[in-house]
Amino acid sequence: MKVCETNFMQGFIRLAADGYAKNWHELNGGNLSYRMTAEEVDEVREALDFTGEWIEIGASVPKLATAFFVTTGSGKFFGNVARAPKENLAIIEIDAAGTNYRIVWGLVGGGRPTSELPSHLMNHEVKMIATNGAHRVIYHAHPANLIALTFVLPLEDAVFTREIWEVMTECPVVFPEGIGVVPWMIPGGRDIAVATSELMKTYNIAVWAHHGLFVSGEHFDRAFGLMHTVEKASEILVKVLAMGGKRQTITRENFCDLAEAFEVTLDEAALGEK
């Protein structure tokens, strides 16, 4: 089986194309990673090259030791992934200590995995533990309306969550646990990775102020869907603010009724005082 024809690779490639079509990936903006199953590794093992050098991750992820990931390349464009997956993507293997990786497939012509690899891997580790292995996709994009809101809304988890919940009724059903907010930080390093993965213990969505959004999901559709939902709600909120602000809205009581009807537990802090 050719690597690019596998289901997981097709899912990866489709998300990259769909995200690009949404205008969330200017130039090399954004990155994506997927934790492969053991069966998927076996499916492509013959096509993998295990002679590459081990490289430091820049973070320690012992729970991900010996795991394999598909990841976008640093400086590579989402818009080029479908046309040339082998040039723009890599499969990487994590070493037995969880501190180094090596490229076993892809990035033909040279390159490294995304500069946000420490964030991706630390988040994968946190979400794998928190979901008993269910979450496999971490996705980062630069959606314009969400970024615009980070210049206007207070950079606080509860406020941000409530504002996004309020503009689209199904938001609290999709992410009842809310949204975390990371203040502006230098991209690509360990610090932003630590801050994001701390929030991901609670949330599946983390805002990077003045930069973009990080989401975690079980599969590509869920991760893309979360990105889509938050960005669509952000677009509505930007329009509402541009029209002079809310004149009526969904109330705390409405949210409580919604939670009961959909059997979800809403984050108390975002729900606010009785």
Residue 88 is inside which H or E element, if any?
helix 85-88
Q: CB within 8 A of 31, min separation 6: which ones?
A: 71, 72, 74, 114, 115, 116, 120, 140
Euclidean distance between CA atoms 177 and 183, whole angstroms: 19
Looking at 8-16, 44-52, 67-75, 78-86, which segment touches ligand 13P (CB under 6 A)? 67-75
Residue ranges in 17-46 that form contacts with ligand 13P under rule CB under 6 A: 28-31
Among 40, 116, 166, 267, binds ligand 13P (CB under 6 A): 116
Euclidean distance between CA atoms 135 and 127, whole angstroms: 6
Pairing between β-strand 212-217 and β-strand 100-106 as defined by DSSP bridges? unpaired
* Site map (CB under 5 A) of Zn ion, residues 210-249, x = contact: --x-------------------------------------
Euclidean distance between CA atoms 177 and 252, whole angstroms: 16
Closest distance to ligand 13P from the beta carbon of 58 (Å): 12
Euclidean distance between CA atoms 175 and 184, whole angstroms: 23
Among 115, 131, 145, 202, binds ligand 13P (CB under 6 A): 115
Residue ranges in 136-165 that form contacts with ligand 13P under rule CB under 6 A: 140
Query: Count of CB atoms within 10 A of residue 181's CB?
Result: 23
Q: How many residues bind Zn ion (CB under 5 A)?
A: 1
Nearer to ligand 13P, 138 or 164 (CB): 138
Q: Per the structure block, which two tokens stand in for 102?
A: 């090596």
Residue 133 in the binding site for ligand 13P (CB under 6 A): no
Residue ranges in 170-189 that form contacts with ligand 13P under rule CB under 6 A: 187-188
CA 195-271-259 angle, 5° bins: 110
Nearer to Zn ion, 58 or 98 (CB): 58
Residue 194 is inside which H or E element, if any?
helix 190-199
116 catalytically annotated:
yes
Closest distance to Zn ion from the beta carbon of 27 (Å): 10
Active site residues: 116
Note the residues at the interface with ligand 13P (CB under 6 A): 28-31, 72, 74-75, 114-116, 140, 187-188
Note the residues at the interface with Zn ion (CB under 5 A): 212
